[in-house]
Chains A and B, each alone.
Chain A
C-alpha cells in the first residue's frame, strides 16, 4: 500500500502492529524540532529511526509549555531562539516521511496550532504525510476546533489519559480515541524520572479495558528498566526528555544508543 492511501490513524496502527509482530513494545521518540540547532533535527530523526524507533513525535516549540518539565522547556526556548516555526516543523515532517516512510506526529500546544489555522494545519499536515497531533493543553471538551479540521483528512488527534481520570470519564473519552491511547504515567509534567509510578499497571489496565486501540505510556520514562517493567502492560512507550538528554550528552550517537537500549528492553 502506498503512503498516500494510508490515513494517519492507519499509519499509527501499522507501526504498532509491526512492533507487536516483532514481539516488542513500540518506541515513540519525541524530539523538539530545532534543538539543539535547526540543522541537527534531520540527523536526529534519522538516528532515532535507525535505532528502531517506531513513531516520531516532532515537538513544535511553544513559549509557554505548561505541561512540560525543565528539559523540554529548555529545548523549546532554544528552538524558538533558533527561529523555528510550525512551517519548519511541517518541512521536517515532510522530509522524514518521504525519505523513510516514517510515522510522524506533532506534539505541541493549542495556541500555535490555532494561530496557524486548523484547516491549514490539516491540509498541509496531510500533504506532508503527518499522521496526527498530540496537544497536551487541549482536552476533549475543547478539541472540536481541531478535530473538525483534522478528522476529515485522516489526521489523528491523539488524546492523553491521566491517572487522575476517573473511570466514568474514561468511559466517555475512550470511544473517541484515535491512533493510540496515550497514558500519562504520573501526575506531573514531562521529564525523566528515576522510577515509574507505582500505580501505572493498574491505570493502564483501566484504559485498556475500554479500548481496542494500542496503549502507550509516556511521561517520566527514562531507562530500559522502565520499558522492561511495561512489557505485558502496555503496547508502547513514549520517551521525550530522556531522549533530549541523550542528544545533549552524545548527539546522534548518544540518541541512537539510548533508543536502541529501549527497543531491546521492550522485547518480550
Chain B
C-alpha cells in the first residue's frame, strides 16, 4: 500500500488535507521524473548548500573510544549548519514548482526553521515557522537567524511548547491555508508522502558517504550510526546501505534523564505503536493513548514519535536502536570538541556518546561511519549551563 513501511506509515489526516497530500504526491513524483528539477536541485546542493560535504577520518576520536576507525560525515559543514538544508532546499524548490508562494514549517532545535528560512529567502517564498516557546528560549540564536533570513517565527504556547506542538500548529496552518500554502515538514515523519520525500532528499548523505567510504577504505564501513529524533539524518544516511547486509545500522535516541525515569524521548526503545501527526509509528504514550511529554537536553531529539520507516527497520531488525542520556551526550559533545576540534550539535553528540558501546558490541577492529548531522553553535548556551 501507498506510503506504508510494513505496518507503519499511512495518511491519518483531516479530509481537508487529503486532496493536498495527493496533490503533493503527484507533484513530487513529477518533479523527481523531471531532469530539469533534478539538475536545479543538484545545482543548489552544490552551489548553495556546499555539497558534497567531506568525510573526516577522526583519528584521535577513534583512538579515544577504542575503535579502528571513525569516519565523520560532515553535515555540520553544510550551509546553515546541519543536514536539514538538504530537504529544505528540495522541498522549497518543489513548493515553487507547485506555485505555492507561502511556506509553513515547524522547528524544534531551530535548525530546520533556519534551513527553511534560508531556502525560502533564496527562492523568494514567504516563510512562517512555528516554534514552541520552550524551544525559543533554549535556541534563541536560531530564532534571530530565522528573523534575519526574513521568516516570521510564530511562538507556540500549547501543550508541551516543544516540537510536537509546533507540528500541530503547522498542520493547523496548512489545513487553514491549504490552497496557497506548502507545508515544509522537517523530518521523515508525518503523513505520506513526507516520510518518503524527506528520506529521498536526505539520502544524498548516505550516497555521498558510501562513495567516500569506498574511496577512502576500499570497502564499506562495518557500522553506520546516526542520532534519531524524527530520524531524517539517520534515514538519509541509512538508505544507501540498506542493501549492504554486512553493514550494521544503528540509531541513537535520546534517553534524557534515563529511560527508567520516564523523562526521555526514546520512541523506538521505549515506545509503542500509535498514530501521531498523520502517521502510524512508534510513539511515547500513556495507557489511554495520550501522547506523553518528552525530555532531552537536545531540542532536535525532543519528539515523542519517530519516522515510520525507522519503526519498520526496527521491527524487521535491519537497524538496531539504542538510547543515550543527556549526561552521555554532553560527554560526547566535549569528547569530539577536544579530540577533533569539532564542536558538534547536541543531537549527533548522542551518536558520539554511543561509540564506546559500539566498540564493545562490534569489536575494536570495527570501522564506524557516523553522521555528524549538525554543528554545536546553537547549543553553546545550553552546554555552558549544563557543564557550568
B275 interface neighbour in A70, A77, A114, A136, Cβ under 8 Å: A114
- The smallest beta-carbon distance between B286 and chain A, in angstroms, is 9
Q: How far is the CB of A186 from chain B (nearest CB, A)?
A: 8
- Complex Cα–Cα for A137 and B291 (A): 15
In the bound complex, residues from chain B placing their C-beta under 8 Å from that of A138 are 12
B10 within 8 A of A: yes
Partner of A141, one of B11, B14, B17, B171: B11
Contact of A139 with B18 in the complex, beta carbons under 8 Å: yes
A73 at the interface (CB under 8 A from B): yes
Tell me the A121-148 residues at the B interface (CB within 8 Å): 136-139, 141-142
- Known interface pairs A66-B277, A169-B19. Does A137 touch B288 (Cβ–Cβ under 8 Å)? no
Spot the interface stretch: A31-39, A90-98, A160-168, A235-243.
A160-168
A142 to B346, CA, bound (A): 37
Would you call B14 and A162 a contact (CB within 8 A)? yes
A212 at interface by CB-CB < 8 Å: no
Chain A residue, CB-CB nearest to B160: A63
Most buried by A among B14, B159, B168, B176: B14
A51 interfacial by beta-carbon distance below 8 Å:
no
What's the minimum C-beta distance from A135 to chain B, rounded to whole angstroms?
9
Q: Contacts of A69 on B, CB cut-off 8 Å?
A: 172
With both chains docked as a complex, state the minimum distance between the C-beta of B84 and any C-beta of chain A, in angstroms: 22
Q: Are A85 and B288 in contact (CB under 8 A)?
A: yes
Q: Mark B72-103, 1 if CB is under 8 A from A, else 0.
A: 00000000000000000000000000000000
Q: Does B13 contact A (CB under 8 A)?
A: yes
Q: Which residues of A lie under 8 Å from residue B10 when comparing CB positions?
A: 141-142
Contacts A85-B288, A137-B278; A165 near B177 (Cβ below 8 A): no
Does B289 lie at the interface of the complex (its beta carbon under 8 Å from any beta carbon of A)?
Answer: yes
Q: Judging by beta carbons under 8 Å apart, are A63 and B19 in contact? A: no
Contacts of A165 in B (CB 8 A): 15-16, 18-19
The reply to whether the CB of A188 lies closer than 8 angstroms to some CB of chain B is yes
- Neighbour of B291 across the interface among A77, A111, A141, A162, CB < 8 A: A111
Is A161's CB under 8 angstroms from B15's CB? yes
Q: How far is the CA of A189 from the CA of B285 in the complex (A)?
A: 24
Chain A proximity of B182: nearest CB distance (Å): 15
* A164-B16 contact given A112-B288, A115-B285, A189-B176, CB 8 Å threshold: yes
State which of A67, A85, A142, A161 has its C-beta within 8 Å of the C-beta of B175: A67
List, in ascending order, chain A residues with CB within 8 A of B277's CB: 64, 66
The contact string, 1 if C-beta is below 8 Å from chain B, for chain A 28-64, is: 0000000000000000000000000000000000111
**In the complex, how many angstroms separate the beta carbon of A54 from the nearest chain B beta carbon?**
23
Q: Provide the residues of chain A in CB contact with B276, threshold 8 Å.
A: 64, 111
CB contacts (< 8 Å) of B15 on chain A: these are 136, 139, 159-162, 164-165, 184
| C-alpha spacing A63/B19, complex, angstroms | 26
Q: At the interface, yes or no: A194 with Cβ under 8 Å from chain B?
A: no
Considering the complex, give the chain A residue whose CB is closest to the CB of B290: A63
On whether the beta carbons of B274 and A115 are closer than 8 Å, the reply is: yes
Interface flag for B178 (CB, 8 Å): yes
Whether, in the assembled complex, A110 has its beta carbon less than 8 Å from a beta carbon of chain B, the answer is yes
Distance (whole angstroms) from the CB of A169 to the closest CB of chain B: 7
Q: Give the interface residue-count category, chain A.
A: 35 or more
Which of A65, A114, A161 is B289 in contact with, Cβ under 8 Å? A114
A112 in contact with B290 (CB, 8 Å): yes
* Pairwise interchain contact B11-A111, C-beta atoms closer than 8 A: no
Measured between C-beta atoms, what is the minimum distance from A167 to chain B in Å?
11
Does A151 lie at the interface of the complex (its beta carbon under 8 Å from any beta carbon of B)? no
**B1-36 interface with A by 8 A CB criterion:** 10-20
- Which residues of chain B are near A137, meaning CB under 8 Å? 12-14, 275, 278
Contact B175 A187 (CB under 8 A): yes
Question: Measured between C-beta atoms, what is the minimum distance from B91 to chain A in Å?
Answer: 20
Closest Cβ–Cβ distance, residue A145 to chain B (whole Å)? 9
With CB as the reference atom, state the residue of chain B lying closest to A189: B172
Nearest residue, chain A, Cβ from B292: A63
Asked whether A164 lies within 8 Å of B168 as measured between CB atoms, the reply is no
CB distance from A76 to the nearest CB of B (A): 10
Q: Pick from A65, A116, A162 the residue with the most CB of B within 10 Å.
A: A162
Find the B residue at minimum CB distance from A62. Answer: B290
Query: What residues on A are CB-neighbors of B175 within 8 Å?
Result: 66-67, 187-189
* Given A64-B276, A139-B15, A189-B172, A86 and B288 contact (CB-CB distance below 8 Å): yes
Distance, CA A139 to CA B2, complexed state (A): 14
Residues of B within 8 A of A169 (CB): 18-19
B38 within 8 A of A: no
CB distance from B119 to the nearest CB of A (A): 25
Contact partners of A141 in chain B: CB under 8 A? 10-11, 18
- For residue B365, give the distance in angstroms from its CB to the closest CB of chain A: 45
A168: nearest chain-B partner, CB-CB:
B19
Contacts of B171 in A (CB 8 A): 66
Is A115 a contact partner of B179 (Cβ separation < 8 A)?
no
The 5 closest A-B pairs by CB, nearest first: A115-B289, A112-B289, A162-B16, A188-B176, A63-B290
Chain B residues with CB under 8 Å of chain A are: 10-20, 158-159, 164-165, 168, 171-172, 175-179, 274-278, 283, 285, 287-291
Query: What are 7 A-B contacts with C-beta separation under 8 Å?
Result: A64-B165, A66-B277, A86-B288, A137-B14, A139-B13, A187-B178, A189-B175
> Which positions in A face B, CB cutoff 8 Å?
62-67, 69-70, 73, 77, 80, 85-86, 109-116, 136-139, 141-142, 159-166, 169, 184, 187-189
